[in-house]
Amino acid sequence: MQDKDYPFVTYRTRRFCKPLLWYCIAFFVFLAQTRQIAIGQPAVQPDGQSIMQSEKTDLSISRFIAPKESSPPVKEEVVREWIRMLSDSSYSKRELASYLLSENQAVSVPIALEELRTQSGESLDRLLSFLGKVVADPISPMSSQAFEELKQLSKRTDGSRSAQISKAFKSIRMEYGLKTWERIRTLCPNSRSEFISRSSRKTVPNPLDISPKFQGTAKDLVGLDQVDWIEFARLEGPKIDREILKATLKLPQLKHLQIVNASLTADDLKLLKDGPDLDTLELTYIPVDDEFVSIVQQLPIWGSLWIFGSKLSSAGADELARTLNDVKVDVLRGAYLGVISQGNALVVHEVEPNSAADIHGIRPRDRIVSVNNIRLESFDHLRRELGKFTPGEEVTIEVDRLVQSFAPLDDVPGRELKDLESLLPKRQTLKIKVVLGKRLG
């Protein structure tokens, strides 16, 4: 049956579409009002009143996010069921259990650590895998607790379970150490690999170089006890305090420690007693006095001790050298020339830029003969003589310098080939007055 007004529309079609049209209009009106509320505009009701009660408009993103309802605490038996699910044959169940344990670490980690004492085989492997992820998570509040507990369990030797935990802990410890080292290196911009040790240049792989540009604090050095590939550390500048020294001494393989221009006291240096055995300890411009003599006798130093620019008296230095007869001791007052040698030779290999030697004209390949008319036998002898002076004092340094003649043969009429010996370099002796400076690096 067709409609008389619209012949092409049947009566049944019109009867169905008319209510649908009104539904669509009502829906769009409702949607428009909802959108006005969402963007902070008051929607007007038919009686003219505003739907929004608050006069202030809230445009924050929190309007569009449903508040997270606080869930009740997870029960212990539920967590233990999740742990059992880690061993399920279904991959999806294992992944679900791992996710649920990770989302509830405050409850799950202590129970998982307790379960380590009873699990074995594949179940233990998967539980250790979960705990390894917790340890590796830098923002997990349970990371430290999990790591310390695993470390203690790995030290036990009472069966295959302990051996399995110990093996897993080695890889967890390595990953933890690498992440710690990566984090610390980002806080040490322009970290160096070459350092001046005594008066020689030393190339060091993977040094811990905490300079005045260090962007962290002692708290950022947490985890150094798991970084077991660092043997050299240099602590420099006013930022170096007792806590940074304490954190550095946790390096298990530390062999060579330099402390430069730090405001540490003799009491602070007592921390060295609890540190690792050192082959070399260098203290440069550290304000320690004769009180340090009794302390250093208790320190685990087996190679050499270098104290440069301290407040130790001559009597204190003599007592130190006498009591530490199995350690090579150098106590110098702090004056610095700025020349670098190769081995123990007196020939200058390199002159440090802006040093006293550079300013007063000492050059590479010069051979240092004497200081204040005291003839030298070796570079160590030079170091000891300079160690008697403080920065700012003037000394006379005698050097032998090679002087090359560049006059061509054609400039001298009648010169024969036998006269070529006159063109060979000659040594010239110079006496240079030098105001000694302070060590720069």
The CA–CA distances, whole Å, from 171 to 149, 166, 248, 293 equal 15, 9, 23, 43
The pLDDT value recorded for residue 375 is 94
Three-state secondary-structure class, residue 402: strand
Is 48 a member of any domain? no
Q: Both 348 and 428 in a single domain? A: yes
Is 298 a member of any domain? yes
Residue found under tokens 């379970």: 161
| Residue 190 confidence class, pLDDT cut points 50, 70, 90 | confident
pLDDT average, residue stretch 168-193:
87
CATH number at residue 327: 3.80.10.10
| Residue 62 confidence class, pLDDT cut points 50, 70, 90 | very low
CATH number at residue 429: 2.30.42.10
The pLDDT value recorded for residue 102 is 87
- Is there a contact between 387 and 331 (Cβ–Cβ < 8 Å)? yes
Q: Residues 387-425: pLDDT tens digits? A: 889 899 999 999 999 886 655 555 555 555 555 556 666
Residue found under tokens 């040490």: 188
Q: Both 325 and 207 in a single domain? A: yes
Give the residue numbers spanning the domain of 239: 194-331
Q: Both 211 and 324 in a single domain? A: yes
> What is the rounded CA–CA span in Å between residue 34 and residue 30?
6
Contacts of 396 (CB under 8 A, 6+ apart): 371, 372, 373, 431, 432, 433, 434
Q: Both 118 and 174 in a single domain? A: yes
Q: Both 318 and 362 in a single domain? A: no
Is 53 a member of any domain? no
Is 51 a member of any domain? no
Residue at a domain's end among 164, 186, 208:
186
Q: Both 318 and 224 in a single domain? A: yes
User: Which run of H or of E encompasses 435?
Assistant: strand 426-435
Residue type, 362: I
> What is the rounded CA–CA span in Å between residue 16 and residue 13?
5
Is 46 a member of any domain? no
The pLDDT value recorded for residue 14 is 58
Q: Both 352 and 265 in a single domain? A: no
The CA–CA distances, whole Å, from 81 to 102, 114, 208, 279 equal 14, 14, 45, 53
Both tokens of residue 25?
């209009």
More confident residue, 79 or 55: 79
Q: Is the pLDDT of residue 105 over 70?
A: yes
| Residue 60 confidence class, pLDDT cut points 50, 70, 90 | very low
Crossing angle between the packed helical segments 143-154 and 160-186, to the nearest 10 degrees: 140
Nearest to 167 by CA among 148, 157, 154: 154
> What is the rounded CA–CA span in Å between residue 176 and residue 178?
6
> What is the rounded CA–CA span in Å between residue 411 and residue 431?
32
Is 13 a member of any domain? yes
User: Which run of H or of E encompasses 15?
Assistant: helix 11-38
Q: Both 199 and 325 in a single domain? A: yes
Q: What is the mean pLDDT of the chain?
A: 81
Number of domains in the chain: 4
Q: Both 92 and 175 in a single domain? A: yes
DSSP assignment of 354-400 equals TSHHHHTT--TT-EEEEETTEE-SSHHHHHHHHTTS-TT-EEEEEEE
> What is the rounded CA–CA span in Å between residue 79 and residue 65?
29
Residue at a domain's end among 128, 162, 186:
186
Crossing angle between the packed helical segments 91-103 and 76-85, to the nearest 10 degrees: 140
Q: Both 202 and 251 in a single domain? A: yes
Predicted structure pTM score: 0.67
Q: Both 178 and 256 in a single domain? A: no
Q: Which residues of 241-262 are buried (b: 16+ CB within 10 A; e: fewer)?
A: ebebbebbbbbeebbbbbbbbb
Residue at a domain's end among 287, 308, 331:
331
Q: Both 208 and 229 in a single domain? A: yes
3-class SS shares of the chain: helix, strand, coil, % to 5: 40, 20, 40
Strand ranges inside 80-181, DSSP E: none
Q: Residues 319-362: pLDDT tens digits? A: 888 888 889 988 888 889 999 988 888 999 999 999 999 999 99
The pLDDT value recorded for residue 153 is 84
> What is the rounded CA–CA span in Å between residue 358 and residue 425?
23
